[in-house]
Each structure stands twice: as C-alpha cells, then as structure tokens.
Chain A
C-alpha cells in the first residue's frame, strides 16, 4: 500500500523534531528551543514547497486537507468528530501557549548580548611588542604560561577550554580558547583589549554587567598580559587573525 503524501509529510515533521529534540543530546549538547524552532520552520517550508511543485502532489496534499476542513454530506461520524477535535484543539493549543507566556517565570530573561563588540578605536592600536622577538619567544611563552596558571586558570580552565573551577558558577561562561571559532578569528589587539579592560570595558550592547572578567590592567602589567596572550595562542596552536599574507611564513 502506498503511504499518502500527508502521512509522509507528518512523519518527516515528527521525525525531524524528535531528531533535533532527543537525538541531538545523544551525540552532543541539547539545542536551544530557538534553534529547534528555526530548523522546524525550515522543514515545514520545504515540505510546503515540495508538495506544491507538481500538480499531482499538490492535489494529493492540499485537496484532502481542504476536504477535511470543509466537510460534506454523508461523512462518517468519526470524521466529523475528528474535525471538531481539531478545531477545538487548535485554539486550546494557542491558549495554552499564551498561558505559558504570561505565567510567572523564574528563569532570567534571554541574555541578548553582542559577543564580539567592535572595540573602541584606541584598541586597534595595541601591538604585541614581544611578538617579533623570535629568539626569546619560548621564554616569553613560558612566562605567559605562569601568568595564565596563576590568574586565568580558575575560570578558563587548565586546558583553556573554559571549564575552570568557577566556570559552573558564572552565567556568561568563560571563553573557550580551545574552540577553533574563538581566538583564531580575532586579532591580537582585540584579545588584548578584552584582557585589559575586562567585562567592565565592554560597550553597552554587550551587557558589561553580565561578564565576570576582571579588569586586568589593574592587576597585571602590560608585559604579563601580552605574554599570557602569547601563551594562549601557543598552547591552542591557533594563530591570531592578521591581514597580511606571509607575515607568519
């Protein structure tokens, strides 16, 4: 027996949802609901697009739905009942959603923050004075390592993966330097600016009040900060973003 198109579409929709909601946590971290909603919207749109390309699909998909909604003479009681059920369930569903929406909620609101804000103009000029010194490079990195493990490790973790002792207690999680999409995408001057001014130095759109990053310029010397940054890049194996090809071989 051939499976009707509507059943296929429904199966795909449910399957995709289950995969995103339940399948995903099996292999990696669970997805936020906003992302699931976005992907489900895409799945729905592609189903609608697909069934409306060919005329026979279009008829097989939309005609039964229209017939179900419209009803007609000589319908079975079960069909009538199910229609009534659908028309009761739909408003109920939206009512329930509204109820959920206005219910008192102890979750903090969504933190809408800009992760990589544009630094103030003055931050573009920071230049690593120790970067070019190839002879003492190892030495500097070792000094940076010391700085890191004396100061940064508590939040950013001993593997630089943002899983330090305190990380669990912080709400904007410490940056994960081991991730290929963090420091390797940024210029050294940007990283230096973030270390220097810390969370408090962020512009308004990045909610400086959420970040626990200290203002290291009050604690560490410039030299220590640069060396720590050199250590970050050395340990993770990433290179800071540059604009000139061949500047690093």
Chain B
C-alpha cells in the first residue's frame, strides 16, 4: 500500500484524531508525579532559560503564522476587486510562506509543551486543572487551523474560478487563527491576573471564569495587532532579501513592490500599537497597582527604556524606507528634500525625548552637579506625559510621511484640490499644537485626569487626523493626473537592509514585551496564587534578559531564513518534508550520495539567489549592538521576598497582630486579589472602614463560610450574580490556619474599628489547619474534631454560634 492510499483512509485520520485528544488526559499523568516533584532542572543552560527560549521562538513563529493570513485575505480581495493579477500572485506567495512555517511552528509548540511538562510539572498540573475543558477546544481549533491552512493554500490554483469559495476558506483560516490567539492568551493572562476560583465551580465554569480575567482582552488585542506587525515586517524582510538576490528586472520589480507592501502593513499595525499597549498597561494598573509599579517604575522600568530603543528604531527605520521610496521611485524626489529633513528632525527629536529616562545614569560627581538623579530640565522628559506626547508626534509624522509618499508624482485636478491641501496642513498643524499643549498641560493636573482625559484626547486627535485626511486624500487623488508611473525595482541595496533590520527589531520587541509580561509576575507562576519556589524565581538582570531576547531573535531569524530558503530554492518532488526546517540538512546529506550531474540540475523555479551571508552579518552586528545597549542600563537582580512564618513569640501587642494580619491579607491570604481597601476596582466589596460595621463573629464566619452572609447582603434588593465567589479561607488552596485567621480579623477590625482580638487568644488556638486527619490522636477528648464542628455548624446556625463562641471570647 502506498503512502498516498494510507493517508486517504478515514480510519487513519480518525485514529490520529482520537490519539490527539487522548493526549490531554495524559498530560495529567505526566504532571501528577508520585514523588510530588515541583521542578526539574537541566544543567548549564538552566530550565528557565530553556523554556524561555522555546516559548519565545514558538510564539514568534505562531505570531507570523497568525499575522500573515490577516493581510493575505485583504490582498486577495483587492486582487479580485481590481482584477490585477499581481495582487493574487503576491497573496499566493505570502500563503507559500505561512505554509512553509506551519510545520515548524507546530514542532516548536510540542517542544515547548514537553519542556513545560518536564521542568514545571506542578505549574502544569494547576493549569491543566484550571483549563482542562478548554484544552479540548484548543486542540479542535488547532485542527481547524490545519485544515483551513492547507485547503486555502493547496486550492489556490484550482479555485481560480471559484474565488468566493477560496476567500471563504481564507476567512475560516483567520477565524481559527483569531480563536487561537484568544485561548492561550487567556491562559497566560490568567497567570498574570488571576481571579478567585471557588471550588464549587464546574470544570467548564472554572475554565471560563479563569479565562475571563481582567487583562485577557487587552492582551489579545495587543497580540493580534502585534502579530499583524510582525507578519508585515517579516514579509518585508523576505522581499528585501529576495530583492538583493534578484537577477532579472521583473524579479526586482516584484520584490520591491512586495517589500513596500510588507513595510506598509507593518507601519499600518504600528500606528495603533501604542494605544493598545497603553490600554493593557491601564488594565494592569487597575488590576494590581503593585504589578504596574514593578513594570513602569520599579525593577523593570529600565526594560521600557530598552523597549523605547526598539520602538524608536522601528519608527525611524520604516520612515527611512518610505523616504528612500520617495527619493528613488518618484520623479519629483528633490522637491521633498526639505520635508524629509523636517520629518527626520521631528522623529529623532521625539525619539530622544522618548529615550530619556527619568532618573539618569550618572556618576556620583555628575549626580551632584545635577542636583540629584533627576536633571532639572531633562527630568521633565522622563515621565508619561512627555512620552505619550512624543509617541503621538511620531505617529503623526509617520502618517504625514505616508501621505506625502501617496501624493508624490500626482497632480490633483479637482477644483477643491487647493482648499483640501490648505485644510490638510491646517488640521495637522492644529493637531500637533493640540497634542503638545495637552502634553504640557499634563504636568499641572492630577495624574488621574491626565491618564483618563488628556491622554485619551491626544489619541483621539491623532485618530481624527488619520480618519479625516485619509479619505480626503483618497478623494482628491481619485481623478489626479499621474506625471509619472511609480518606478519599481530601482531601490538601492541599503533600503533593503533597512527592511531586514526593521523585521529584526520587531522580533526583538516582541521578545522583550513577552518577557515584560512574564516578568511582571515576579516570583509567581500565577500571580498571588502559585508561587515560584524554584531556583529561578528571581528576576534576572536586564543584560541577561537582553541576551536572551537576542538569542531567541537570532534563532528565529536563522530558522525563518532556512525555511524560506528551502521553500524557495529546493523543490525536490520526492521529499514531502519540504517545509520542515531541517529539510535542507537532509537534502545536503542525500546530495552527498548523488552523482555530480544530478546536482547541477537547473532549479525548477529559477527563483532569486539569496544573499544570506551579508544579510546575516548585518543582522548580527545590529543584534550585538542591542546586547551592548542591554548591558549599559543598570543591572539589578530582583530577589523574591523572604518567607515569613507566623511567629507567636513576636506577637506581643494588638498592633503586632494587625501588622501580621496585613501582611497575610496582601500575600498568602490572597484577599487583596479581589478586595481593596480605599480605592478599588470594585470586583468585590471594598473593605474601607469595614471594621466599624462588622463584628468579629461576622468577619470570622465570612472567612470560613463566605456564602452564609453574602447572599443575605447582596441578594436583596436586587440579586447580583458573582461569577467568581469568595473561597473558603481556611480550606485549600488558601488554607489559612486559625491563628492566621485571627490576625486577619485583627487587621480587618483595625480598618475603622476597634481591635478586639488579643494576642493571648492566639496562643490558645491550634497551629495548623482546622481539618485534622482522622487517624491523628486527639489530645483533649472534650474537643470535637474540627471537621465535625464545621459540618454540623454549617447545617445549624445555632451550633455555629456556639462553635464561634467556643473559639472566641465574646466580650459582651
């Protein structure tokens, strides 16, 4: 039986499918180890670094795979609308690229999954417990993606006359891709911003509740836009490399145009990206201020200077490519020299403000001369108000650049052309003045006003400019006279290197942002819920982190290079592994045994020669420079805080109890994940001043039986449906001891009330959890086993009251 026949049998498919789905239950077999190992390590490289690299490279491939179809389908539809064959050809070539990386992405995903299972079994067990039902959905989506990607690609030629059907498959591909971003983003967003999962939830509800966490949607938006940018720029780089190696005029023209489209898509995604990032950051702050400070002001703040370098290079790099496009492709190039200088000055000026940190790196004598770590003049540039202003200016500049490029070599013939020009100039000038004014004004108003009103106004001003000028220009240019058709294929080599460098920097940015997101959890696997107790719980120095960004970027670039090269130049029909990244190695190996004549067979496609060596050298230099920059910023390691055991001998006064209770409230007890005191996000009742209103019995009962009173209080007058209900605090997973509960009560009481629990009471209480194992001998026969007390008391309020009064010395 030939391979072909085997594949065509439905039984084979069904078996594969079942085997795949059986993989999920087997993950828990992997994770649940009899010895209860939480971590494993691997010598030299370290388990964290290995998982880090695998995750990063996998995600980069995934981003490319999911980002590119978004614009393939648009290009294909454009081809149908305009009837121009070149659009269809371009879309087809992009589709070739995604099919080429598909197998590699999946392979890396499996590497990543297995590394997680091996090195972080405990974390994986918790994640599997939380998300198990969704894992099946994820697998299904994966199948959908596979099916749609292959149908879409393989039927390209066959369905030339049935474009509607083909576009429909493209749409399905995007749908599956989008869902594939949604699910795992929810998993990792849960790790950063978990919600409380009460044990009564059904598996499906649990998975959904966990998925629907505060930063889920912002992360998804950020990622989708990021994927688009990555897809665009990487396609641009591919075209750039192909252009460098192109021999014929047609090839040059084609790849020049393709590079232009890639860069355009990248810039198109880049424009809304700062807004998406801003939204995500806001949600992070809302969720947990501490996490926000860790990122923006604390140990990771220098990371954002490193990110600023990357973003700045991206903006400058993509504009640079546009400028060269004006200089080489258009006839009226010299006319734009002044405008290009102006744009360059504005961009670099904004970039320098964007780069200037608040506290400068200075030696002691320099800091002295400066009068502190903040420079009196430059310190102004170090805060959010300035950063947002310049990033908006950079976006506007890029937009102006695009408009100029669009209008080059065209003579507007409509009557209102002049008026439109004046309006455009006036509007942009007004918007720029408005943005700068808002930025300056931001220093004189409370932060909250700046964050919620001024920054939003800046963004709206930019959007307004874009949404007004773009259609206006389109209308004005519709009947415009072309003085000369755009010349393609005349770009200098350096412009193509700019395309490649842009792609490299997008990849670096993604690596950096992925790290920022993970690092914001500091020493937690799941923030506030599952602590990282491994040897790698610390936050590494930014230099080391930069090195890892660079290594993952380099791996990605090399692998993508090999994949593209393979899919382009070697087309041996007998190899079905054409799209696998190891294929060239096998090819080379097989060729060793071939006779020389066969080796010299003409290539089937006659595709362009790739000038890998030079490009690799240039990319390498840039990556080295970036590593250097990474080591120039302060190098600090963030260690997890020391563990605190409840030490009764240290608790002497009620104030001590309050202090201990406060610590537990914000750490082990996980109370602060939902409850805030004072200002809050309103997920659960705010506990400000609550000590005055509640008795200690009530507080205690709320902790051990949260449902008892929540219903009374909140179901009338209008029932409120809480998706995530309060867990029982003295049971797993939180499982505070009675003593710890008492300190919590003391802390809650101290909020506006009088503390009535005393340190003496603490000493009379059992140390551990209330639930004693049945085989343990009970020391005092008159004390019932705690479990029994609870079971009964829950059923009978009177007994509950007795149980409480047994524990507490009621002062009445």
Contacts and interface: CB of A to CB of B under 8 A. Distances in A.
Interface stretch (A93-101, A137-145, A172-180): A172-180
B447 A204 contact: no
B634 A46 contact: no
Shortest beta-carbon contacts, A-B, top 5? A112-B634, A121-B666, A116-B297, A32-B362, A239-B446
Interface string B219-256: 00000000000000000000000000000000000000
Interface residues of A, number: 68
B636 A112 contact: yes
A217 to B, nearest CB: 10
Contact of A53 (B327, B379, B637, B638): B327
16 contacts: A32-B363, A35-B356, A49-B316, A50-B340, A53-B323, A112-B634, A120-B666, A125-B677, A127-B678, A171-B367, A173-B371, A176-B374, A187-B289, A203-B638, A204-B637, A239-B447
Given A125-B665, A187-B289, 7 more contacts: A24-B377, A52-B494, A53-B323, A54-B327, A162-B372, A204-B638, A240-B446
Given A35-B378, A122-B662, A180-B444, A204 B639 contact: yes
Interface in B136-184: none
B327 A55 contact: yes
A205 B299 contact: yes
B754 interface: no
A190 B752 CA distance: 20
Interface of A: 24, 27-35, 38-39, 42-43, 45-46, 49-50, 52-55, 58, 107-108, 110-122, 124-125, 127, 129, 162, 171-173, 176, 179-181, 184-185, 187, 189-190, 203-205, 238-245, 247-248
A34 B361 contact: yes
B316 A115 contact: no
B648 interface: no
B688 interface: yes
A180 B290 CA distance: 22
Contact of B366 (A30, A45, A118, A119): A30
Taking chain B's interface residues, is the majority helix, strand, or loop, or is none over half, making it mixed?
helix
B446 A115 contact: no
B328 interface: yes
A140 B106 CA distance: 64
B290 A119 contact: yes
A181 B324 contact: no
A190 B341 CA distance: 45
B439 to A, nearest CB: 13
Contact of B373 (A115, A124, A189): A115
B294 interface: yes
B473 interface: no
Contacts of B344: 46, 49-50
Contacts of A238: 446
Interface stretch (B19-27, B347-355, B571-579, B605-613): B347-355
Nearest to A25: B369
B714 interface: no
A57 B281 CA distance: 43
Contacts of B372: 162, 173, 176
Contact of B636 (A108, A187, A205, A239): A205
Contacts of B377: 24, 27-29
Nearest to A46: B348
Nearest to A121: B666
B333 interface: yes
Contact of B333 (A24, A54, A187, A244): A54
B523 to A, nearest CB: 12
A118 B290 contact: yes
Contact of B297 (A115, A162, A180): A115
A42 B492 contact: no
A205 B638 contact: yes
A49 B317 CA distance: 9
B367 A242 contact: no
B636 A245 contact: no
A120 B672 CA distance: 12
A43 B678 CA distance: 48
A129 B688 CA distance: 10
Nearest to A161: B371
Interface in B470-520: 492, 494
Contacts of B291: 118
A190 B324 CA distance: 49
B360 A32 contact: yes
A118 B294 contact: yes
Interface of B: 285-286, 289-291, 293-294, 297-299, 301, 316, 320, 323-324, 327-328, 333-334, 337, 340-341, 344-345, 348, 351-352, 355-356, 358-367, 369-380, 382-384, 443-444, 446-449, 452-453, 492, 494, 632, 634-639, 641, 662-663, 665-667, 672, 676-679, 681, 688, 752
A16 B380 CA distance: 21
Nearest to B446: A239
**Secondary structure of the A contact surface, majority rule:** loop
A121 B299 CA distance: 15
Contacts of B494: 52
A42 B294 CA distance: 29
B662 A30 contact: no
Contacts of A243: 285-286, 289, 448, 679, 681
Contacts of B678: 125, 127, 189
Nearest to A58: B492
Nearest to A111: B364
A55 B288 CA distance: 53
Given A124-B672, A176-B372, A117 B364 contact: no
A242 B449 CA distance: 9
A245 B323 CA distance: 43
A121 B448 contact: no
B446 A42 contact: no
A50 B447 CA distance: 39
B448 A244 contact: yes
Contacts of B681: 243
Q: Taking each of A24, A28, A125, A176, which has the highest tally of chain B beta carbons within 10 Å of its own beta carbon? A: A125
A30 B370 contact: yes
A105 to B, nearest CB: 10
Contacts of A108: 363-364
A42 B677 contact: no
Contacts of B298: 114, 116-118, 205
Contacts of B453: 245
A33 B638 CA distance: 27
A232 to B, nearest CB: 15
A28 B375 contact: yes
A43 B584 CA distance: 43
B299 A117 contact: yes
A55 B492 contact: yes
In the complex, which of the residues B328, B341, B361, B638 has the most CB atoms of chain A within 10 Å of its own CB atom?
B361
A116 B301 contact: yes
B732 to A, nearest CB: 21
A49 B370 CA distance: 32
Contacts of B328: 55
A28 B381 CA distance: 15
B380 A181 contact: yes
A32 B366 contact: yes
A185 B447 contact: yes
A29 B379 CA distance: 11
A42 B369 contact: no
B270 to A, nearest CB: 18
Contacts of A173: 367, 371-373
Nearest to B382: A181
A118 B293 contact: yes
Contacts of B672: 121, 124-125
Contacts of B752: 129
B638 to A, nearest CB: 5
A34 B362 contact: yes
A241 B384 CA distance: 13
Given A113-B634, A124-B289, A242-B679, A42 B352 contact: yes
A214 to B, nearest CB: 19
A189 B337 CA distance: 53
A30 B636 contact: no
